[in-house]
Amino acid sequence: MAHIEASFFNHRFDDDTFSKNMVEALTQAVASVLGEDAANETAIILRGVDPAHWGYKGELQN
């Protein structure tokens, strides 16, 4: 069984289709590498992060 956790800026979740599309895409990626049986047993958690709590290249991304 695959377990995937992915974090995104909170504003991505403003799009009502984002979560559905991301879960489908990540599941398809698992299927392409590990096969359909693994994809059918894959758990995916999507997390929202405030840009004020996300740093990149030494700077906050707010």
Q: pTM of the predicted model, to two decimals?
A: 0.84
Characterize 19-40 residue by residue with b for buried, 16 or more Cβ atoms within 10 angstroms of its Cβ, and e for exposed: eeebbeebbeebbeeeeeeebe
pLDDT digits (tens, 9 = 90+) for 9-61: 999 999 999 999 999 999 999 999 999 999 999 999 999 999 889 898 998 87
- Phi, psi of 49, rounded to the nearest 5 degrees: -130, 130
The residue count for the chain: 62
**Structural tokens at position 56:** 């990149």
